[in-house]
Amino acid sequence: MLVWLNSAPQRLTGFVRRIHLIIGLLGVIAFLLTGQLMKHHHPRMEELSAEVRMMYVSRHIYLLGASLVNVVLGLYLQVHPQGWRRVLQQIGSVVILLSPLSLLIAFFAEPAFGLAGRSWRSYFGLIGLFAGVMTHIVTSAGLSSGLVSKKQTSRVDSSSPH
């Protein structure tokens, strides 16, 4: 872990993005497989009680959400330079990376118990996903987004011939 914290930002960005992308894509594959599992479930999903069916479907959708967050981070994440922002961002990334795994376990463990079956698995997966995304938002607050600002755009427009 210490090596990860002290790596060069460009190399670290590539590594963290790759891990998020791999976990995200594996999560999307797990989402597709759990969908097939529900389609071929015995007894059929329609024959299950409404609350058990809701538990399967909700865990299935939660898994997709956590996986897609990882895919997006895998495509667009920029690691902050040294400092508190980088440390907080990395903590958020670790929690986000663990979220699909926790939600996949919840998909298999919780539905059979109905609404009473909600446990630490789905709790950790959802709260962890929320907290991880919030840490990424906090670490980026007040920083330049790298997008062209209005001031730069107007300067470009005024210098170009009409």
Q: Which domain holds residue 17?
A: 10-141
**147 lies in a domain?**
no
154: in domain: no
Split at pLDDT 50, 70, 90, the class of 7 is low
Q: What is the mean pLDDT of residues 5-34?
A: 86
Name the nearest CA neighbour of 52 among 95, 5, 119, 110.
Answer: 110
* Highest mean pLDDT out of 29-43, 91-105, 137-151: 91-105
> What would the two tokens of residue 113 be?
């118990």
In-domain check, residue 89: yes
The answer to whether residue 83 is domain-embedded is: yes
Q: Grade residue 115 by pLDDT with cuts at 50, 70 and 90.
A: confident
User: What's the confidence (pLDDT) of residue 1?
Assistant: 44
What is the rounded CA–CA span in Å between residue 151 and residue 130? 34
Distance CA 60, CA 150 (A): 42
> Which residue is it, tokens 């990334």?
93
For residue 153, tell me if it sits in a domain: no
Contact 24, 67 (CB under 8 A): yes
- Whether 63 is covered by a domain: the verdict is yes
Reported confidence tier of residue 148, pLDDT bands at 50, 70, 90: very low
Residues of 125-150 as b/e, b for ≥16 C-beta within 10 angstroms?
Answer: bbebbebbbebbeebeeeeeeeeeee
Is residue 157 one of the residues assigned to a domain? no
The pLDDT score that the predictor gives to residue 90 is 94
Q: Which of 129, 130, 123 is nearest to 99 (CA)?
A: 129
Nearest partner of 16 among 31, 33, 1, 37, judged by Cα: 1
pLDDT of 149 over the 80 cut:
no
- The predicted-structure confidence for 66-105, as pLDDT tens digits, reads as follows 999 999 999 999 888 878 999 999 999 999 999 999 999 9
Supply angle C-alpha 78, 80, 85, rounded to 5: 130
Tokens encoding 154: 């107007």
Question: What mean pLDDT value characterizes the chain?
Answer: 83
- Residue 65 pLDDT > 70: yes
DSSP per-residue string spanning 57-76: HHHHHHHHHHHHHHHHHHHH
Of 101 and 113, the structure prediction assigns the larger pLDDT to 101
Q: How many domains does the chain have?
A: 1
Highest mean pLDDT among 24-33, 84-93, 138-147: 24-33
Per the domain annotation, does 73 fall within a domain? yes
